[in-house]
Amino acid sequence: MAKILCVEDEEEIRDDIVEELMDAGHEVLAASNGLEGLQAVTDFRPDLIISDCLMPKMTGPEFFQALRRDYPDLAEVPFVFLSAHADKSHVEEGMALGANVYLTKPVDYDKLLMVVNSLLDHGTRAASEG
């Protein structure tokens, strides 16, 4: 079981993802934009973050940059972009920022879970090895 922060402005999508992750046994905190996500990380200390890109107030990339800048202790926390921007340029942009994975909507939940578990496993292994 891991702590996952899910940042998504579309309520209908957010609810499903949260449900899906909780069904997989994770503890999930939902935020509806980057700013809320940034406020959440202080107390929640997630093991993994899933974030949309296009959101009001603070976009996903802005959230990612603020997170990496202001929370050095969360530097190793895997970060997944999940966005309806599916252009190659958007994917490259997201990856260039330093995200671990860029998934496009609509997403297959099996794939999402696989990515999440893989990233969490890797993190755990890295932690135990370290």
Partner 1 sequence: MSDRNPPAVTARPAYWTVSRKLAAIVVCCVGLGLSGMIAGQTYWESQDLYAHALRSYSNLTKLLASQVSAGVRWQRPEVIERNYAGLRNDPEAGLSSLMAFDAEGGVLNAYQSEAAEGVDLRQAHDAATGVMGRDVVFSQRTADHFVLVVPVEVDAPESLGGRRIRVGALAVAWSLAELKQHIWDGLLRQLGLGGAALILIIVVCIDFLKRVFSHPLEALTTATERLAYGDTSAEVPGTQRRDELGGLARAVEVFKRNVRIIEKLTADQQEHAARLSQALEKEREYNALQSEFVAMASHEFRTPLAIIDGTAQRIERRMHQMSPEDLHERVQKIRNAVQRMLALIESTLSASRLDAGKIELEIGACDLSEVVADVCKRQQELSPLHKIVLRQAELPKEIAADAKKLEQVFTNLLSNAVKYAPESPRIDVRVASEAGQAVVSVCDRGLGIPEDELPRLFERYFRARTSTGIAGTGIGLNLVKRFVELHGGTIEVESAEGAGSTFTVRLPIALPCETSAVESAGRRGLGLQADPAPDGGVAKIAQEA
Which residues contact partner 1 by CB under 8 A?
10, 12-13, 16-17, 19-20, 23, 33, 54-59, 83-87, 90, 104-109
Nearer to partner 1, 23 or 76 (CB): 23
Work out how close the CB of 76 gets to partner 1 at its nearest, in angstroms, rounded to a whole number.
Answer: 27
> How far apart are CB 109 and partner 1 at their closest, in Å?
5
| Nearest distance in Å: CB 124, partner 1 | 26
CB under 8 A, 24+ apart: contacts of 119-128: 119/48, 119/78, 119/80, 120/2, 120/47, 120/48, 120/78, 122/78, 123/47, 123/48, 123/76, 123/77, 123/78, 126/76
95 contact partners, CB below 8 Å, separation of at least 6: 102
- Smallest distance, partner 1 to C-beta of residue 73, A: 27
Nearer to partner 1, 59 or 64 (CB): 59
Q: 83 - beta bridge partners?
A: 104
In this complex, which beta carbon is closest to partner 1, that of residue 86 or of residue 126?
86
